[in-house]
Structure 1
Amino acid sequence: MTTISLTSTAIKNIFDELHQSMNGDLSVKVKEHILDIDNEVGRGKIRGVTFKSGISLLEFDVKFIQDLTLCVGSSEHPPICFAYCLRGKVTHRFRSQSGKKVLENFQTSILTNKANEENILEFASGEHIKISLIVVSTDFNPINAKKHSLNYRIQKSFLKGKASQNSIYIGSYNLKIADKIQQLEAIQERGIVRSLMIEGLVHMILAYEIQQHADDLKRDALNNGNLTFKEMHAVREISKTILNCPEKPHCIAELSRQAGLSPGKLQEGFKRMHGTTVSDYIRSVRVEKGEELIKTSDMNISQVVYSVGFSSRSYFSKIFRQKYNCSPKEYKEKQQSMALSA
């Protein structure tokens, strides 16, 4: 077993200590730290970046050769940590307590701890781990408009003006966050554009995590059940099927059969994942595919309508206008005009 101790929650210090313990290749570009490792410790990448708001992102995408214990210290002002596990699992406990909790695939977690409390994270050997942590500093005091800053509002919401205590909340399965993290991984831009895109997606992920927490509290109050990981994974696969083949005559009964879920479970999964019904999701995917074809193909409007699964041009035009604030014909003419002037 390998044990690594981190004495700080500041990204720069974390990477200095990780680099010293794991070796590997450390690079820093526009405050984005990347540690690539391929040695006796493990193989993969650890990435971190801090934004001016006092919010940081730390990502592990690695497979450790041996079991790894990460001991993370805190200060007089311990941060609030929002975690999401995209792959594998990680076990957490507080140094002063014996109880452990496990964060698994597609689950969210919110962690607070007492001043100077140490957090113990355990990673199993041979398991591919992908986990993202958004760390909100509670020692961050912006000079201007403090009470309107995102950092301040998060502190007020979760600490309510009191001293931080040992607490870890493990949330329900959430696939929308997985999609946003994959978008983070897909960013190819560099420099300030890359930084802005990362920060924007981090804020969206943070919003989803906070909303998940609120939804879970509401669901607990109503004593409603949660979907299992297997059921949410089935919903994700059905979503991919619709996204890849929007033109097919999808119906709730057939999609439920493919997913191995009841129609009610399928609808609940789509509400949780996409915030909408199955039918509305299909309609939205078809309209977006239609917009893409109008912009990138030589098809006329009627051809586009039928190629994405609609049977009525007038209906397509109606919902297209609702989404894009213009008719398909106007949109196509605008695209052609832009192409000619380019």
Structure 2
Amino acid sequence: MLYINFEHPFDQLRKLALSLNADFKEFQDSAILTLNNDLGKGHVTTYNVLEGLNVRIYDITFNEEFKLTKMEQDPSIIYFLYCIKGHFFHKFENQEDYTKIYPRQNVIYSSAPKSPNIVTFPANVHLRLSAIFVKSVTKPSNSKRRTILESALDDITSFIQKDNPFSYYGEISPVTSKYAKILIDNNRTDAVGKLLVEGAVINTLASQVEHHDAAKEEAQIGFPLTNSEILKISEVAEYIAENIDQSLNIDHLSKTFGLSPKKLQAGFRHLFGESLGNFITHLRLEKGKELLQHTDLNISEVCYKIGFSSRSYFSKTFSERFGLLPSKFKNSLSSDDLVYELTYKSTMSDGIQLSDIEDIIEEAEPRNQEHNITGCLVCQNNNFFQLLEGPKSNVLYIYEKIKKDPRHYDLEILTRKINSNRFFPQWSMALLSEKDELKDTFKDRAVDLNLDTESILQGDNLHISSTVFWRRVLNMIKASKA
């Protein structure tokens, strides 16, 4: 168990990094812990947003259970926690049992001098968590954001006693997730990133306070489901998503989770704004659309994968939701006006020589031309980055071939999407900078790019970084040919 009693959030994160043997980088208003060893993989980032307001973002998976005890020197600090993926456990030191914190659950707690917080992160659970720390500030307000923050906290701080720990384990709050996701997905450390964090923190905080107040009002009018039943509804939704190809009906779910059909319907209308049956249908349709976009499965195979027993009913409901029959939607993806894009990163195998990279390029150029594939390959240190674009079936075919190539491993797809045009009219190779070690070998065949790909090399939110990265690659290639 790790004990933390440093007051400054950056010092807390530094101690956590030392405990985990993780990398730690500190900037003016942020600090980043990067973990990539036997203990786990991911990032923990702390932002100093305003005086008295900090946020810690967890996007991490621990390979072993990890316990953290936090003793606050200042009991006026209040925590607003919101988890969009995974779960963890919390208790005060003087409590015997832990409370499980679920995805999308609104959680607010404080601490007292003699009652430190104990948090347990379970093993092998991908945690994506926003933790906002608010400290009472006595200085007068000088900004609009500060005024908004103080107004939002009035109701919370009015009933929190500094000498006793306070905890509020609220209901599931899906609305807050759109703000928390902005926080967790953000990986920029420049001025734009800082403004993005400030706005998202204020919105997340306001949403959690608003949901807290609304929950109190609902309790007063007698909402038909208890808090534990609402949490169970979230578990039902997760179960449906994981078993979408199975026969799912309300009687089966009622028996499995111990909730009456009436409770199930009320819970889904409360959390998702629709009946249980509509939720299952819409989830299946969204999964079906994804399979049509990113696989070569035919319509019947897609029906089987998502639990539709009738192809005609699937076609009817798909058309009602998306405005196209699934067959027409699938055909539209092969249109000459649309381009399928797939980007990935991988690690070079041990012993790879420059001659091996030359061979990869020699093999790729004619193969890509034959299949109408364009894109770009970038090599940096021991990493490959590649964008493939062209007809969807051809791109998927080429990628399957690439996956089996023994000259690299640990492939990770960064983006899969449909574009209206190609980024690269011809297949290219690019070097990242004038200092690239491959420059001399490929000086007549590659474009020099002064790009910093650190944001792509690190972090689980790679789809965001890769979009920015490839657009910069495209712009630099165009500039070099102008």
Q: So what's the TM-score if we normalise by structure 2? A: 0.48
Contact 1:111/1:169 (8 A) holds in 2? yes
Pick aligned residue for 1:319 from 318, 321, 328: 321
Which aligned pairs between 1:208-219 and structure 2 lie closer than 5 A?
Answer: 209-210=208-209, 212-219=211-218
> With CA pairs under 8 Å and 6+ residues apart, which has the higher RCO, 1 or 2?
1
2:280 aligns with 282
1:341 aligns with 421
> Where in structure 1 are there 5+ consecutive unaligned residues?
none
> Taking structure 1 as reference, are residues 34 and 19 closer, same or farther at Cα in structure 2, changes over 3 Å only?
closer
- Structure 2: which amino acid aligns with 1:266? L
Shift in Å at residue 270 of structure 1? Answer: 3.0
User: How many Å separate the matches in 1 of 2:143 and 2:89?
Assistant: 40
User: How many Å separate the matches in 2 of 1:223 and 1:332?
Assistant: 51
1:121 is the counterpart of 2:117: yes
Shift in Å at residue 258 of structure 1? Answer: 3.2
- Structure 1: which amino acid aligns with 2:237? S
User: How many Å separate the matches in 2 of 1:206 and 1:259?
Assistant: 32
Contact 2:318/2:325 (8 A) holds in 1? no
1:50 is the counterpart of 2:47: yes
- Structure 1: which amino acid aligns with 2:45? G
Which has the larger displacement, 198-207 or 268-277?
Answer: 198-207
> Taking structure 1 as reference, are residues 99 and 81 closer, same or farther at Cα in structure 2, changes over 3 Å only?
same
Q: So what's the TM-score if we normalise by structure 1? A: 0.64
1:154 aligns with 152
Deviations 1:254-313 (A, max 9, x none): 332333332123234434554432122112212212322342345677986787526163
> Taking structure 1 as reference, are residues 119 and 43 closer, same or farther at Cα in structure 2, changes over 3 Å only?
farther
User: How many Å separate the matches in 1 of 2:264 and 2:222?
Assistant: 19
Contact 1:175/1:236 (8 A) holds in 2? no
> Taking structure 1 as reference, are residues 113 and 237 closer, same or farther at Cα in structure 2, changes over 3 Å only?
closer
Contact 1:305/1:316 (8 A) holds in 2? no
- Structure 2: which amino acid aligns with 1:34? L
**Two-structure CA RMSD over aligned residues (Å):** 5.3
Aligned residues: 318
- Structure 2: which amino acid aligns with 1:145? K
SS of corresponding position for 1:311: helix
Which has the larger displacement, 136-145 or 48-57?
Answer: 136-145
Which aligned pairs between 1:1-342 and structure 2 lie closer than 5 A?
Answer: 4-8=4-8, 11-16=9-14, 18=16, 22=19, 24-28=21-25, 31-34=30-33, 47-50=44-47, 52=49, 54-57=53-56, 59=58, 69-74=69-74, 78-83=76-81, 87=87, 89-92=89-92, 103-106=99-102, 108-112=106-110, 120-122=116-118, 133-139=131-137, 145-146=144-145, 149=148, 151-156=149-154, 158-159=156-157, 165-166=161-162, 168-172=166-170, 174=172, 209-210=208-209, 212-224=211-223, 225-228=225-228, 232-233=231-232, 235-246=233-244, 248-271=246-269, 273-297=271-295, 308=306, 309=308, 311=313, 313-321=315-323, 329=328, 333=332, 336=335, 337-339=337-339, 341-342=421-422
> Where in structure 2 are there 5+ consecutive unaligned residues?
340-419, 423-482
Shift in Å at residue 56 of structure 1? Answer: 0.6
Deviations 1:144-194 (A, max 9, x none): 533775x345334534xx697436232245385999999899969787799
